[in-house]
Amino acid sequence: MNKRSRVWLAAVGALLAALVLTSLALPRSFRLTAVSDIVQCLLLASAMASFVSLLLRSQGRIRLFWSLISLGISFQLTYQLLWTYYEVILRRDVPDLFAGDVILFMHIVPFMAALAMRPHVPRDDYAARVGRLDFALLLTWWFYLYVLIVIPWQYVVADVPAYNHNLNAVYLAEKVAFLACLVACWTASKGEWRKLFASLFSVNLCYAISSTAANWAIDHKLYYSGSLYDIPLVAPMAYLTWIGLRTKAEKPASADREVSTIYGVWVARCGMIAVFSLPLFAAWTLSDNHVPPRIQVFRLALTLAAAFLMGMMIFLRQHLLDRELIRLLNQSRESFDSLNRLQQQVLQSEKLASIGQLVGGAAHELNNPITAMLGYSDMLLSTPLNAEQQPIAAKIGQYVRRTKSLVASLISFARQAPASKTPVDLNTLARTAVKLAQPQWEGLEIEVRTQFDPTLPKVLGDSNQLFQVCLQLVANCLHVLSERGGRVLTVSTERQAETAVLQIVTDPMSSASTRPSSPVEPDDGLGLSACQGILQEHRGQISRQRLEDGSLLLRVELPITESPLGKPKASTVPVMWQSQPYA
């Protein structure tokens, strides 16, 4: 607690001490009455100011909670100012049938509404709207109860004893109900909120007992302003300032969420009890033959008006409930559909994982015989062969290498975990791929030309996967050239803006080739599908294009390391084959 708060509390303690000393030292007089009334006004103003400071520091429902607390204290302060106006300014007793008594009775309603908000429990927008409606219903019912029981003896048929008796009875019932609400909030809260509700309960219990004693003294002509009955009545007013200055309950406690459902059920039940009480009050009015007929008519008309107003509120509350139920139903349907889709995706993923394991195992088993076949085919090419045997042996080596490349693609396809990425030189990968494919293009008598940009920046990726892409694309283009009569393959790299580009171009293929068209196009087969998947993981693009002269262009684009990997450019499109019609 800071210095300002300590000084504030010291001033409140001094006011309370001054009132106690005055009550003990001075006899019944105007001076004693003035001191008592003014001190009570100052203590209530101090309490309201302490809670207003909490209001200004809070937000959302917590701010509304402190606003209602401050409003309740302001009602009590207003009543005390009216009392002071009569006794100090006008210097006469407050009238027996005092119109301001309704303010004293209604000052507890904002406190009860604040508790009904349950600020210590997180709530959504729907709960907030229903809470405001519950407050309006609560306010209407208590006002109806006051007008039904008290007002007739004040304005319809003036009767001071009946008025005082009914006012005290209704006020006592309201205080008991408020104390019960405080006990419920106290037992259901934790931490700072529990301390706050405990303090409010002790303050209001003391006030309820002292005010009941003061009303008894008034009925027996023993009470006067500044008497000893005021000391226990004023002490809770001073204690309110201490609560407002020391409390730290400024946010809801999420641990209390589990009791929200039970609370909602009881709020609905209380609303039904309030509505069902109206016919009971009407029956009580008709059965009470001790009241004048004018009061009976007044009470019946009031009950009908209250039944209509509260019925409209219940209808509006039910409308909000229906809308919320429809929203929850639609949300549950969407969640169920999403769950079904997710289940199907999980099943598909499990199938793909099983297929990947099967493919990976089969590919590893195929690697050994394929390696042996490749070695024997190279040995066969190194032996003296006649003119007819030489091309056949070259074809054997070519297709064995192609099969080995496809098996490597299968292994990459079956791999589940993404590889780590490091800066990679694309020129080195392309040059190595061309070098490793040299036995294939030399055996096919194909000329390979390279044009590598020496200033090409590095790309961020997995060197093994990107090398496989380069090797796969070179092997596929060599296969297409051998099938369609081409003799020149050009491999080049260049930089375009923030992208490293690898281009593989075949020369115009012979249209006089009598060989049937191969089904293996650069966008067909599992090998190139694996390349597409690898490039997608590297945020790259691959495209193919048939140029006007009949040559084929394969183009791979990869972001360079100078471009932030985690921030894709707006022009990036999903990796796909962007086909154009063949000429």
For 82-96, the pLDDT digits (tens) are 999 999 999 998 898
For 11-33, write each residue's pLDDT tens digit.
Answer: 999 999 999 999 999 898 999 99
Token pair, residue 523, equals 């966008």
Token pair, residue 156, equals 């319809």
Q: What is the mean pLDDT of residues 99-128?
A: 78
User: Phi, psi (5° rounding) for residue 559?
Assistant: -70, 140
Q: What is the mean pLDDT of residues 352-360?
A: 70
pLDDT score for 117: 74
Q: Is the pLDDT of residue 572 over 50?
A: no
For 312-345, write each residue's pLDDT tens digit.
Answer: 888 887 787 788 789 888 989 988 888 888 888 8
| Averaged confidence pLDDT in the chain | 81
Q: At what angle do helices 30-57 and 230-246 cross, to 10 degrees?
A: 20
pLDDT score for 261: 53
pLDDT score for 135: 72
Q: CA-CA distance, 62 to 155, in Å (whole number)?
A: 40
Q: What is the mean pLDDT of residues 254-278?
A: 64
Q: CA-CA distance, 394 to 377, in Å (whole number)?
A: 8
In DSSP terms, 541 is beta-bridged to 557
Q: What is the mean pLDDT of residues 255-284?
A: 70
Q: Given 3.30.565.10, 3.40.50.1100, 3.40.640.10, 3.30.9.10, which CATH number is that of 420-511+518-583?
A: 3.30.565.10
Range in 234-238, 456-460, 544-548, 570-574 the model is least confident about: 570-574
Q: CA-CA distance, 425 to 431, in Å (whole number)?
A: 10
Q: What is the mean pLDDT of residues 487-510?
A: 87
pLDDT score for 86: 93
Q: What is the mean pLDDT of residues 38-55?
A: 93
Q: CA-CA distance, 362 to 365, in Å (whole number)?
A: 5
Q: CA-CA distance, 425 to 456, in Å (whole number)?
A: 8
Q: CA-CA distance, 176 to 209, in Å (whole number)?
A: 10
> DSSP assignment, residue 288?
-
Q: What is the mean pLDDT of residues 36-59?
A: 91
Residues whose CB is less than 8 angstroms from the CB of residue 501 and which lie 6 or more positions away in sequence, other chains included: 493, 494, 495, 555, 556, 557
pLDDT score for 502: 93
Q: What is the mean pLDDT of residues 135-164?
A: 88
Q: Is the pLDDT of residue 511 over 60?
A: no
Range in 34-38, 457-461, 519-523 the model is least confident about: 519-523
Q: CA-CA distance, 292 to 156, in Å (whole number)?
A: 9
Extents of the domains making up the chain: 3-259, 339-417, 420-511+518-583
For 176-233, write each residue's pLDDT tens digit.
Answer: 999 998 998 888 888 888 889 999 999 999 999 999 998 888 888 888 888 999 899 8
Q: CA-CA distance, 28 to 173, in Å (whole number)?
A: 32
Q: What is the mean pLDDT of residues 488-511?
A: 85
User: Phi, psi (5° rounding) for residue 556?
Assistant: -115, 130
Where helices occur in 445-563 by DSSP H, the ranges are: 463-484, 525-537
Range in 87-91, 393-397, 535-539 the model is least confident about: 393-397
> DSSP assignment, residue 88?
I
Confidence of residue 147 (pLDDT cuts 50, 70, 90): very high
pLDDT score for 376: 80
Q: Are 466 and 459 in contact (CB under 8 A)?
A: yes
Q: CA-CA distance, 553 to 545, in Å (whole number)?
A: 5
Q: What is the mean pLDDT of residues 95-106?
A: 90
Farthest-apart Cα atoms in the chain, separation: 141
Q: CA-CA distance, 190 to 178, in Å (whole number)?
A: 20
User: Phi, psi (5° rounding) for residue 417?
Assistant: -80, 135
Say what the pTM is: 0.57
Would you list the DSSP string of 63-76? HHHHHHHHHHHHHH
Q: Is the pLDDT of residue 521 over 80?
A: no
Find where tokens 């919320």 sit.
Answer: 324
Q: CA-CA distance, 532 to 472, in Å (whole number)?
A: 11
Confidence of residue 262 (pLDDT cuts 50, 70, 90): low
pLDDT score for 80: 94
pLDDT score for 443: 74
CATH code, residues 3-259: 1.20.1070
Q: What is the mean pLDDT of residues 144-161?
A: 91
Amino acid at the residue 444: L
Q: Are 565 and 559 in contact (CB under 8 A)?
A: yes
Range in 101-115, 384-398, 469-483, 489-503 the model is least confident about: 384-398
The SS3 of residue 122 is coil
Percent of the chain past pLDDT 90, that is, above it, reads 30
Q: Are 188 and 259 in contact (CB under 8 A)?
A: yes
> DSSP assignment, residue 485?
T
Range in 334-338, 490-494, 496-500, 516-520 the model is least confident about: 516-520
CATH architecture of the domain with residue range 339-417: Orthogonal Bundle (1.10)
Confidence of residue 478 (pLDDT cuts 50, 70, 90): confident
Q: Is the pLDDT of residue 302 over 90?
A: yes
Confidence of residue 144 (pLDDT cuts 50, 70, 90): very high
Q: CA-CA distance, 279 to 565, in Å (whole number)?
A: 73
Q: Is the pLDDT of residue 556 over 60?
A: yes
pLDDT score for 518: 37
Q: Are 535 and 575 in contact (CB under 8 A)?
A: yes
